[in-house]
Amino acid sequence: MTTSLQLRSGLLRCDIRPDLGGCVAGLWRGDLPVLRSTPAEALTTVRQAGCYPLVPYSNRVGQARLKWAGTSHPLVQNNAAEPHAIHGVGWQRPWEVLEADAQFALLSYEHKSDASWPFAFDTSQAFRLRDDELELTLSITNQSSQAAPVGLGWHPYFVKRPASHLRFAASGRWEMGADKLPTHRLPSTGLDQPCTTLDVDHCFDGWNGEAVLSDTGLRICLASSLNRLVVFTHPARDTVAIEPVSHVNNAVNLLGQEGMTAEALGLTVLLPGASMSATMTIRVEAV
């Protein structure tokens, strides 16, 4: 199995580890890291990666229990002592390299029903590096015999420098309980503030698909076909996670509560054989 891939275009370099959850080990512009970055061969855990895929759901499934179609499915608690299941299964499984060259890579993972997720699916990731941007496409096909809930997203960790400033527009923010699960939605205009003092761990909806992270050296423009954004950082962290996602945290278990609909939560239900795709682009410019 291929353990690492490297894409290069102009000043950009992207290292990928198919065997570690199909993750981006690092993204650099010249010698300057854009994401939290480790050379591919030196990366030992996906938890230190620059970015990894969120499939077939993002963020948390509360108490590691999926309630679907009248059945309660216990899931694996996959985040240390936390009682929830988190970030899907793709980030913790090896991916196969289907195609690769100097500026493009295509990976795939085939999931059979197991204790981590009860519905079979196929998923693929495409990485394309151009002179000033990295474009990612993530797709999933329901291979189970019944309609299944799915979600997609990415978990990129951007380097937080002393002058880092994050700006994006949204219409709502989901408040979080002490158990790290969403409780209710409040109106929000998004964020427009320095990252050094930012303390946030929330899902924003009504996002227009654009976010800008800038500092004295780089201007990073994040764009996605998805319309929800999870942002996580606090003053002690040296990264800011800016995560395009398709649905609200714990959406599958919020469905039907207090009139919460699949549309409002962003939850997609795929019929057998049906597919879903999403894109994310990271454009990097010198200031």
What residue type is 176 in one-letter code?
M
Mean pLDDT over all residues of the chain? 96
Helix (H, G, I), strand (E, B) or coil at 274: coil
| pLDDT on residue 111 | 98
In this structure, what is the dihedral angle of CA atoms 233, 77, 247, 224, given to the nearest 10 degrees?
60
Predicted confidence band at 80 (pLDDT cuts at 50, 70, 90)? confident
Average pLDDT estimate for 262-284: 97
Q: Which fold has domain 5-286?
A: Beta-galactosidase; Chain A, domain 5 (2.70.98)
Closest CA to 181 of 80, 79, 63: 63
* Structure confidence by residue, pLDDT tens digits, 169-217: 999 999 999 999 999 999 999 999 999 999 999 999 999 999 999 999 9
Domain ranges of the chain: 5-286
Kindly state the percentage of the chain with pLDDT values over 90.
95
Q: Which residues are paired to 96 by β-bridges?
A: 108
Structural contact between residues 119 and 271, judged by C-beta atoms closer than 8 angstroms: no
Contact 66/75 with Cβ under 8 angstroms?
A: yes
Say if residue 1's pLDDT is above 90.
no
Reply yes or no on whether the pLDDT at 101 is more than 60.
Answer: yes
Task: Report, as an integer, the average pLDDT of 67-80.
Answer: 93
Q: Is 273 exposed, middle or buried (0-12, 13-18, 19+ CB in 10 A)?
A: exposed
The pLDDT of residue 242: 98
Q: Let me know: does 134 contact 104? Beta carbons within 8 Å.
A: no
Would you state the pLDDT for residue 266? 97
Express each pLDDT in 105-125 by its tens digit: 999 999 999 999 999 999 999
pLDDT of residue 2: 56
15 three-state secondary structure: strand
Average pLDDT score over residue span 142-168: 97
User: Whole-angstrom Cα distance, residue 180 to residue 125?
Assistant: 28
Mean pLDDT of 237-248: 98
The confidence score (pLDDT) of residue 3 equals 83
- What proportion of the chain, given as a percentage, has pLDDT over 70? 99
pLDDT value at residue 57: 98
Q: Is the pLDDT of residue 40 over 60?
A: yes
Q: Taking residues 225-246, what's their average pLDDT?
A: 98
Confidence grade of residue 66 (pLDDT, cut at 50, 70, 90): very high
Residues sharing a CB contact under 8 Å with residue 223, sequence separation 6 or more, in sequence order: 209, 210, 211, 280, 281, 283
